[in-house]
Amino acid sequence: MRSLILFTALSAILLAGSYEKKGVAVVTDELYKKECGSCHFAYQPGLLPSNAWEKMMSNLQNHFDTDATLAKEDFDAILDYLSKNSAEKAMEYKRSNKIVKSIKRTEVPESISKTPYMIKKHREIREDLITQDEVKGLFNCTACHTTAQKGIYSERDILIPNYGRWED
Ligand code: HEC
Ligand code: HEC
């Protein structure tokens, strides 16, 4: 019995050790907030690996059917910020860790909501709750995750418009 308790405690410590911080790191860069947070919420860099950010940044003239091009100086600064704070460099954060581990080595995701971890986590939500006017699409994290700005995406902080609290 005692060894069982010890074993359980030890595994809990080992499991927690792979990531000791909740959610993802918050956005700290003011230029990023201004330029990449004007059309939508400023997604935390820790939600994608650097190769995905680089791919997205290489095609800002056709950014999801909009033009999001930047002045050269701003572009360089933002790319640098995204690369330095990308998911694989923030593996101590639970969500960054899970996102990175879900992506195959040979794959470069097109967006956050297209990463295997995000697809899996949102699979059980009714389609009409996602496409409704108040949400529009999975890209709109802040429509459902009340603490998204703080980098916290826990289940207890979810409130879906015209549905309410998420219950499993
Ligand atoms: C002119 C408006 C505009 C600007 C500026 C803009 N975006 Fe976007 N962004 C969009 C639109 C529109 C979408 C697609 C939303 C959808 O799926 O309909 C999008 C989607 C995204 C997504 C994918 C979200 C998901 O579903 O996973 C990311 C990541 C993103 N943008 C990052 C950025 C970054 C980084 C910048 C700054 C360099 C930026 N955006 C600037 C309009 C913009
Ligand atoms: C339509 C509302 C909605 C939108 C939009 C949405 N989510 Fe979610 N999200 C949910 C719900 C509901 C769950 C819980 C699903 C479950 O447990 O089956 C969830 C789960 C998650 C989880 C896992 C939470 C956990 O405790 O396991 C993460 C991380 C997450 N979402 C991040 C995001 C990000 C980042 C975005 C934007 C790119 C986003 N979500 C957009 C509703 C949404």
Nearest residue to 100 (alpha-carbon basis) of 114, 84, 116? 116
| Gap from CA of 50 to ligand 1 centroid (Å) | 16
- Look up residue 130 and give its two tokens: 């996602």
Q: Is the pLDDT of residue 167 over 90?
A: no
Q: Is the pLDDT of residue 16 over 90?
A: no
- 47 near 112, Cβ under 8 Å? yes
The answer, yes or no, to whether any atom of ligand 2 lies below 6 A from the CB of 87, is no
pLDDT of res. 6? 74
> How far, CA to CA in Å, does 135 sit from each of 39, 102, 110, 145?
14, 25, 20, 11
**Which phi and psi angles does 73 have, rounded to 5°?**
-60, -45
Interacting residues of 29 by C-beta distance below 8 A, sequence separation 6+: 78, 81
Among 7-21, 25-39, 54-68, 143-157, the least confident range: 7-21
Q: What is the pLDDT of residues 43-59, one digit of tens each?
A: 999 999 999 999 999 99
Nearest residue to 118 (alpha-carbon basis) of 138, 140, 135? 138
Within 6 A (CB) of ligand 1 lie: 35-36, 38-40, 43, 60, 63-64, 66, 68, 78, 111-113, 137-139
Nearest residue to 55 (alpha-carbon basis) of 99, 101, 110, 115? 110
pLDDT of res. 5? 73
Q: Is the pLDDT of residue 124 over 80?
A: yes
- 24 near 90, Cβ under 8 Å? yes
Q: Is the pLDDT of residue 86 over 60?
A: yes
The answer, yes or no, to whether any atom of ligand 2 lies below 6 A from the CB of 100, is no
- Smallest-distance ligand from the CA of 83: 1
- Report if pTM > 0.75: yes
Query: Directed axis angle between helix 72-84 and helix 50-57, to 10°?
Result: 160
